[in-house]
Amino acid sequence: MPTRNVILLIVLAALGCRLLLLPVLPIADPTEGRYAVVCQEMALGNDWVTPKVWINGELIPFLGKPPLFFWLGAGAMKVFGVNAFAARLPSWLAMVALLAILASVLRRYADERTAWLAVGLTAACPVFLGLGGAVATDMLLALFVAGSILAYAAFAVESDRRLRKRWSLLLFALLAGGFMTKGPVAIVLFGLPVLAWTIRHRKWALLREHNWALGIPLFLALVVPWFWLCERHNPDFLRYFFVNENFLRFVTHSYGDRYGKGHLYPRGSALVMLLLATMPWSLYAGWAWWRQRRAESWRRGDELASLLFLGVLLPTLFWCLARQLLITYLLPMVPLFCGWLALALPPTATLRRFPARAIGGVLAVFLIAGLAAGGQISRRQSSLDIMDFALAQPDSPVLFTGRTPYSAFFYGRGRTVPHPHWSLVEAVRHILVTDPSTLLVTNRSDADELPPEVAPLLRRVAVGGRYAAFQVIPAEVATTQPEE
């Protein structure tokens, strides 16, 4: 069987395994839980203009991101029900679509072997395959950012004028999708490498070839209506979104974030994150380059390879300027890096000669070991186990001490009690006054050292993940109720 067919079968098997895992892994907090709740509230509340999320006991507008991911997640929930599979399906479909664009561009403008090698390398990056089934906006943004750079590459090297116009129109649609997923940053991540490539190769004449007459109206038609409607429904949204979320967050830590705290890293951390996101192929690329750094077969001057390389380098340098970032921000660079590597590797390189074996080995290790460990981590980061117990109790409300995890709202909408940040003592007092049948849930670390004023009133009834559940017993009967 030809190598390309073997790689295709391996990739399809990996994608199929990832699809089967969508309903199995618990919704993990905080990221997956938050976005799953936003999709859930949109699907059940039928408000398709303003995404909403639970913060400090209130269901408030979630205006930190445009709604495309939430529309897709809510739409999937309308079809498949409110469950983990529906919440994760948009990311899986975005992963498949991105691999399809990568294969299509490289098959047409390089060769079939290079195309399937790039697809196989991309699918075998653990970060890429892992996020291809996560409730997060990152894979959808990667589809639009990496897809737009690939579409521009096809536009730039295509000789047929009609096909070039079609690639240009697709480019505008992809940029609109990126804007509706995360805002102006999608334009920046696309524009930096394209501008640098245009300057380097003196391709200014290409600007006249774009399908401006249809592309600009298409972009505006896909983007403007929701921003206009959201501002009407939520006055001051435009100022918060464009100023706070898309400017101040890059220059100051205290930018007025309404929905959580960012992760601070030293500037330049994006380079390390890129190496991790593209492993193991980043390590192999360094080794192969060192061994054959003088080989003429490295395609340094190829325009297609050059654009993909700049599509990796310049967005990474852009993120190097930020301190608030995650490794997931580097996800759009993964398929571009793998595409560049497949183009640039000398034909004599090991990965060129035995790609199926290398790709299959990496995927097998990741699927068996990585996802198993990831499943355990996500279970620890989720309230699923304790909510399964709580929801089996007839009509008992569930109250979490401290900050209620998002996944508790997802798994127990209508049963999970929304409230501000309450201590264990405050929660017990509230339950005694309102509804003693309420199930009290707290972190297991807190459950091991109960405050003496409420310890006699609590009877542990379940433990799940990092949580413990208690039944609150009124003082007059507490002495007759032994703790289980």
Over the stretch 123-159, which tens digit does the pLDDT of each residue have?
989 899 999 999 999 999 999 999 999 999 999 999 8
The rounded distance, in Å, linking the Cα atoms of 460 and 465 is 14
Q: Is the pLDDT of residue 336 over 80?
A: yes
pLDDT of the residue at 352 = 63
Contact 166, 158 (CB under 8 A): no
Q: How far apart are CA 406 and CA 37, in angstroms?
A: 7
- For residue range 447-456, list pLDDT tens digits in order: 888 888 888 8
Q: Quick one: tokens of 108? A: 């047409």
> Before 280, cis peptide (omega within 30)?
yes
Q: So what's the pLDDT on residue 159?
A: 87
Average pLDDT of span 403-422:
93
pTM: 0.92
Rg over CA atoms, the chain: 25
Residue 3 has a pLDDT of: 66
Which pLDDT score is estimated for 252? 62
The confidence score (pLDDT) of residue 374 equals 66
Structure tokens at 336: 């571009």
pLDDT of residue 308 exceeding 50: yes
| Residue with token string 């940029």 | 175
The pLDDT score that the predictor gives to residue 418 is 93
For the segment 50-91, what is each residue's pLDDT rounded down to a tens digit?
A: 999 999 889 999 998 999 999 999 999 999 999 999 999 999
On the question of pLDDT at 353 being above 70, the answer is no
Rounded alpha-carbon distances, angstroms, from residue 354 to 7, 110, 297: 10, 19, 18
182 has pLDDT over 70: yes
Q: Is the pLDDT confidence value at 293 over 60? A: no
Rounded mean pLDDT of the chain? 87
Please check the confidence at residue 107 and state whether its pLDDT lies above 70: yes
For the stretch 415-426, what's the b/e string if a residue is b when 16 or more beta carbons lie within 10 angstroms of its beta carbon? bbbebeebebee
Q: Give mean pLDDT, residues 460-465.
A: 91
In total, the chain counts a number of residues equal to 484
Neighbours of 221 (CB within 10 A): 10
pLDDT, tens digit (0-9, with 9 covering 90-100), for 225-234 = 999 999 999 9
Write the pLDDT tens digit of every residue in 20-51: 889 989 999 999 999 999 999 999 999 999 99
pLDDT at site 480: 46
For the residues 347-356, what does the mean pLDDT come to? 67
Q: Where do runs of H (alpha helix) occur along 366-423?
A: 371-380, 384-392, 406-411
Per-residue pLDDT for 472 more than 70?
yes
Q: What is the mean pLDDT of residues 299-307?
A: 76
Ranges 167-181, 198-212, 257-271, 382-396: which has the least confidence: 257-271
Q: Using an 8 Å Cβ cutoff, are 102 and 118 in contact?
A: yes
Of the candidate ranges 114-123, 173-182, 475-484, the one whose mean pLDDT is the lowest: 475-484
From 172-186, 258-272, 329-343, 403-417, the region with the lowest mean pLDDT: 258-272
Q: Quick one: what percent of the chain has pLDDT higher than 90?
A: 59
Of residues 369 and 173, the one with the higher pLDDT is 173
> Could you say which DSSP state residue 46 is in?
-
